[in-house]
Structure 1
Amino acid sequence: MRSCWHPEAWQVINNLVSMICRLCNGEQDANTDFVKLELMEFLSMIPPNEINHASVSDHLHIFTSSCVPQALVMLYMSPYKHNKECATESVQELMASIRFMLPQTVSSQFVPVVLLLCKMLQRAAGYDDSLYKFCRSSLGDLVKDAKNFNHGGVVDDDDNKVVIELQDMFPFAAEVASKLSRGLVSSVESVSDFRFLRDDVTDFVAFLKPLKAAVRYHLVSPSILPSIAKFNEEINKIKFVYMLFDGMLKTLVGCFEKMEGLVIEKKENGGWDQFLVILKELHDVSKLFQGGERCFWKSLKDFTRSLCHLIVRYAKRGEDYGWILDQKDAIDFESRRHLVMLLFPVVVIDEYDDIHEMLIDRSQLLAESFVYVAREDPERLRRGLFLEFKDEEATGPGVLREWFFLLSQEIFNPKTGLFVACPNDPRRSFPNPGRVIALALMNNIQVGIVFDRSFFLQLAGKNVSLEDIKDADPFLYSSCRQILDMDPLAVDQDALGLTFVWDIDELGSMKVAELCPGGKNMIVNSRNRKAYVDLLIHHCFVASVAEQISHFARGFSDIIGEEKNMKTFFNSLALEDFDRMLHGSESDISVVDWKAHTDYKGYLETDPQIYWFWKLVENLTAKQRKILLFFWISMKYLPVEGFGGLTSRLYIYKSNESIDHLPSSHTCFYQICLPAYPSMAMMKNRLDVITQDHVGYSFGTS
């Protein structure tokens, strides 16, 4: 032993195997702790930072040629309970050390050892054995974490040698896929064992990673696989991956067929949180085959309800859902909204957090608000906002909602010059500082504003076309449409009298801007009129507001985190989606819905004051209802779901104040405090006062 390489390592392994043999023979003085200690001693001898990995290979040779894996399995299958426990602890410690103690370049060389352990445990103990499943998961983790793959298998980083063949992973991938399929079916038929289902999903994703890497080199149509598979080893690998994909997709379709009814009946069995993980993995595989992605989405087209339920229920912040958002028409508005809102940081207000405090003078609302918002570190703004109005006691979420609404209305007021209203739709406007809008979205506050299509498209990084400016500038749209529709002969006879320039009115002074170099000398004709219209639209709606849009985008990105998230946000929504998120419901406030989401404290629903109240609300104008709602909860615009979309139910409290007093409110808690007025006429008089626009927010207390 002294004459061989690494004699200390040989000695440790020899002692280890000898002790295992003694334990298996039932010797009473054999020490079970010795096995684990010697195993760890051996691993500590492997040089972790040696550039030449010959020493690592030598140690692996010592480990395998001494039949340590076989000895550990023999110990595990021993009839003595303490031996089984010893083997379990030793193997678990070995797996943990390989994965977490050794550097990746070294641990990748242990993959064949773990593979051998898995094969032997599978044969000796069976598929359902806990130690086998632990080793199988460890193998999957090692394979998944490996940095180097090729079409042959997992490759060692240093000498580019294949340490595990791709075919060696087929049985494990197939086994996991089969077990996972059974678990998924069980999850829609009965209550599943969530833990094991999650473990199976983790293993499935792990074993698929190198398989996908191999298939990525060969984009093949599934239709030709049967005819060429028997002649081509590479195609056999591709066929295996396709069969996994096809089988799992069919399983999911069967599950979704049952899930549709369960979603309607609100009977979820559990374990459904793993469906999105599997769908993402299958979508990734589908892109490896010609027509595969189309097949994937076609298979799901009849199960929108189930897919949307999974998204709203289980989609989590920090995960990648671009694969769904790229097919945004496959899901509904609520799901799209949920996914894009996950791009924002979560608002968690804690008394120990360094939240951003603001003290605002109502008479200087716009100026002071922008000082607080524009100059503050975005990180503090994301932590939460606390606001007070000067000389007012009210604080809390209700005051914050009021501030967002009032500030947005002020920003979008044409008199401020920050925005210009669109002639065809006075609700729509051009760019403003983006932090305010992003903060309103992050805090789920509807501010009654929508944006012009051309602005929205540019935030998404898309081009602006003629049809996109229809609302923003109907006169220019009509003029451009006439130019494009004119008889070509008339255009070529210079009936238009146009060149590639545009007249600009700057503070009463007319200036001429060339739409392209040499534009003054370029006459518009039938051949270039489309280019003229495109350049004109670009000048008026892109180039002329590029700086403002850049400022808005930068402000929005400050809150959502980065520019990539901002573009994903706007790319994943239709303009109508964004309208609904920012503006809220377009419908008139429903008194029936209002009443259904209101509870009572101190009053009974049958009390005359409650009957009078709702009768009077029914007779209010649409504008008065908005003012009353604003007085009550500091919101004039409801979410698209109506009152059901609010974070709380509403409350009518019986006030102890004199009947001479007006109603008051605690907007933070969605409470209106109503004195016990003795008549409907007196209550009407009091409601008439608080539903006047200029006093509608004057009596809230928090």
Structure 2
Amino acid sequence: MLYMSPDEDNKICAIESIQDLLVSIPLLLPHTVYSQFLPVVLLELCKLLRRVAGYDDYCLYKLCRNSLGVVVKDSKAMNIFHGGDDNRVMIIALQDLFPFVAELASELSRGLVSSMESVSKFGPSTSDVKDFRAFLKPLKAAVVKYQVILPLSNCIFTCEDNGIRFLYVIFDDLLTTLVMCLKAIEGLVIEKKENGGWDQYLVILKELHDISKLYQGGEEYFRTNLKDFKRLLCHLIVRYAKRGKDYGWILDQKDDINFEARRHLVMLLSPMDEYDDIHEMFIDRSRLLTESFEYVANEEPKRLRGELIMEFKDEEATGRGVLREWFFLLSQEIFNPKTGLFVACPNDPRRSFPNPSSNVDRLHVEYYRLAGRVIALALMNKIQVGIVFDRSFFLQLAGKNVSLEDIKDADPLLYSSCRQILDMDPSAVDQDALGLTFVWDINESGSIKVAELCPGGKDMIVNSSNRKAYVDLLIHHRFVASVAEKISHFARGFTDIIGGEKNLKMFFGSLALEDFDRILHGNESDICVVDWKAHTDYQGYLQNDPQIYWFWKVCVCKISTFFFFLMHQTIQQLPNNLSFFNSGVVRVVEEMTVKQRKALLFFWTSMKYLPVEGFGGLTPRLYIHKSNESIDHLPSSHTCFYQILLPVYPSMAVMKNRLSFITQDHVGCSYGIS
């Protein structure tokens, strides 16, 4: 009555009272009372405001509706729709929520249409999407309680009540509008025009996907509508997906999105950004593995997820570059077969697999946990370490079975033998041509031990009917049982960083092995100097300065010593005579080796393996700075900022000589100053 009063003071008093009510009641009342009392008050208040004010005073009505949505979404208050704990009292009927869901769906549709009309128009608001999700929650819970028939053609349901038909109509209408909008904005995405409302598309899609799962055939219908928008969906993921949100509905169909989108989503799994802790490490290079173990293996995971500060003892360098170097060196040490923790695959020495014959004492297996933590931290810090996993190792981390085809690289001899057993003529196998029983040989510290693959295995002869079971058991014991404890410790270490076993399974289950290779190892291609040069800027130098010209020339090739003298003699004419070198008079006799380029890259950036995108994937960009140091000095670097400091060398011969020093492995990491 006060609100409807023609007296302006009365109306202001009413508005302030309503606002005070919404803020104060949750703070003043016990939750047991609040959860029973407030929903009724808010529901009635929303109805009254909608009737007497509606969009004329939309802010007040929206504030009230938002407060009701918060209560509705509260899991502790969900019993208000189901008759309370004793099932005798229903505080709010589900039908009471229908008008709110309907009007919010209409608002979202209007926002979607607005977002496709112009990049200057804002799309669906965050608050509307939030309220829509809140009011949907009890409706979705109610639908789960009832059996539903395929709703795609005739919308036939077994129950007319509890919002089943209503929810499907909302789903179908909103999906139709969204698909229309996706068609319209695809061109804007191609033109790289951004719109503030597009960040809500993924949230709305998530809700529509959840609804689709409630109906037989609904999920297929949902995905069919989106099948033509793979490129656009990937753009929205990379641009707008945020940490802490649930993107399992996308990762469940990982083939529907590209590598960049999959990588972005799995990288969001870690709760890394939630912590502000700093973890400092001071490590002796000569005791890299043991001292790293002390700093990492027993530290609280939340501290490791914070900022890592790394410094090698007796060295001045610190910063991001030193951290990258530490990750690289430590990973190489952990996965070095000489360390004994992992073995290399015979068919692909780059790939590693837990060593079945390694020691199994408690301290030793804890090193596998260290390995898991280090790899997860490297991934979360976006550092490529040049390591790749064997397929059987990767599959077990994803919680998947290991088959015969999965061991091809790890044990080619066993693979070949098992394949021959399976392909042999059945009659030959049944004549005991194999001479095998269900046992296998275990190498323990150099001695061979015979173990049964199953109870009574030594008395079970392999024949045509059980040979597949024999092969499956052999693979299980060789690649699963023998390393189960080690993989378990590795997984535990990985889980410490990524935040839960569910995230572990989702991380590895959402990627193909090739995806994981590209993320962890980095770019497999040789370093391209053209790409390198295209993504390098200059400070103090100009692109056409002779020192810059010489630098890239040295990176590309080695020059015949016959011409060093000639170049030295003509050094004074070089600035005005650069065409002399471009003319082909200076002949290239030998390209700089891949190893030397990697050493130069390592000196410059503390990395030997580039991101998948190549130099374009580095942030910040590379820089060549003019150094005021004497020409007798070697170049130096700020590895954390991707900067190399280059003195003004007087000739290409001098520059080549200086670069030759820093591209040697034993000094390549010794001159960086940060």
**Secondary structure in 1 matching 2:139:** helix
- 2:380 is aligned to 442
Residue 269 to residue 535, structure 1, CA distance change in 2 (3 Å):
same
Contact 2:275 2:302 in 1 (8 A): no
Residue 536 to residue 297, structure 1, CA distance change in 2 (3 Å):
same
Displacement of 1:301 after TM fit?
Answer: 1.6
Displacement of 1:160 after TM fit?
Answer: 3.1
Which has the higher mean CA deviation after the structures are superposed, 312-321 or 140-149? Answer: 140-149
Query: 1:329-478 counterparts in 2 under 5 A?
Result: 329-346=255-272, 353=277, 355-431=278-354, 432=368, 433-478=371-416
Contact 1:127 1:133 in 2 (8 A): no
Q: Deviations over 1:503-526 (max 9, x none)?
A: 223333221011111100000011
Query: 1:471-620 counterparts in 2 under 5 A?
Result: 471-619=409-557, 620=592
C-alpha RMSD over aligned residues:
2.2
Contact 2:638 2:673 in 1 (8 A): yes
1:142 corresponds to 2:71: yes
Contact 1:361 1:389 in 2 (8 A): yes
1:175 corresponds to 2:103: yes
Contact 2:112 2:124 in 1 (8 A): no
Residue 193 to residue 115, structure 1, CA distance change in 2 (3 Å):
farther
Contact 1:188 1:258 in 2 (8 A): yes
- 1:17 is aligned to none
What is the total number of aligned residue pairs between the two structures?
Answer: 623
- 1:240 is aligned to 166
1:669 corresponds to 2:596: no
- 1:256 is aligned to 182
**Secondary structure in 2 matching 1:77:** coil
Q: Deviations over 1:238-262 (max 9, x none)?
A: 1111000011111111111122211
> Out of 577, 601, 609, which is 1:629 matched to?
601
Which has the higher mean CA deviation after the structures are superposed, 565-574 or 190-199? Answer: 190-199
Give, in whole Å, the separation in 1 of the partners of 2:382 and 2:614. 13
Pick 1 or 2: higher relative contact order, CA cutoff 8 A, min separation 6.
2
- 2:61 is aligned to 132
Contact 2:119 2:193 in 1 (8 A): no
Query: 1:12-31 counterparts in 2 under 5 A?
Result: none
1:86 corresponds to 2:13: yes
Displacement of 1:689 after TM fit?
Answer: 2.1
- 1:9 is aligned to none
Which has the higher mean CA deviation after the structures are superposed, 667-676 or 500-509? Answer: 500-509
Query: 1:277-296 counterparts in 2 under 5 A?
Result: 277-296=203-222
**Secondary structure in 1 matching 2:615:** helix
Residue 227 to residue 348, structure 1, CA distance change in 2 (3 Å):
closer
1:198 corresponds to 2:126: yes
Give, in whole Å, the separation in 2 of the partners of 1:199 and 1:516. 60
Displacement of 1:93 after TM fit?
Answer: 2.0
- 1:19 is aligned to none
Give, in whole Å, the separation in 2 of the partners of 1:357 and 1:504. 43
1:186 corresponds to 2:125: no
Specify the structure having the higher radius of gyration (Cα). Answer: 1
1:218 corresponds to 2:141: no
Residue 361 to residue 232, structure 1, CA distance change in 2 (3 Å):
closer
Give, in whole Å, the separation in 2 of the partners of 1:698 and 1:233. 75
Displacement of 1:541 after TM fit?
Answer: 0.3
Contact 2:123 2:198 in 1 (8 A): no
Residue 554 to residue 691, structure 1, CA distance change in 2 (3 Å):
same
Displacement of 1:494 after TM fit?
Answer: 0.7
Displacement of 1:416 after TM fit?
Answer: 1.4
> Out of 629, 654, 660, which is 1:682 matched to?
654
Give, in whole Å, the separation in 2 of the partners of 1:295 and 1:559. 37
Contact 1:665 1:699 in 2 (8 A): yes
Q: TM-score, normalised by structure 2?
A: 0.88
The amino acid of 2:9's aligned partner reads: H
Displacement of 1:196 after TM fit?
Answer: 7.0
**Secondary structure in 1 matching 2:270:** coil
- 1:40 is aligned to none
Displacement of 1:347 after TM fit?
Answer: 5.6
Give, in whole Å, the separation in 2 of the partners of 1:567 and 1:142. 33
Residue 227 to residue 566, structure 1, CA distance change in 2 (3 Å):
closer
Residue 419 to residue 227, structure 1, CA distance change in 2 (3 Å):
closer
Contact 1:469 1:477 in 2 (8 A): yes
Query: Which consecutive residues of structure 2, in runs of 5 or more, have no partner in the other structure?
Result: 355-367, 558-591
Contact 1:109 1:156 in 2 (8 A): no
1:165 corresponds to 2:137: no
Query: Which consecutive residues of structure 1, in runs of 5 or more, have no partner in the other structure?
Result: 1-70
**Secondary structure in 1 matching 2:92:** strand
Contact 2:124 2:197 in 1 (8 A): no
Residue 378 to residue 95, structure 1, CA distance change in 2 (3 Å):
closer
Contact 1:108 1:142 in 2 (8 A): no
Displacement of 1:473 after TM fit?
Answer: 0.7
Displacement of 1:166 after TM fit?
Answer: 2.0
- 2:564 is aligned to none
Give, in whole Å, the separation in 1 of the partners of 2:163 and 2:623. 64
Contact 1:447 1:584 in 2 (8 A): yes
Displacement of 1:489 after TM fit?
Answer: 0.9
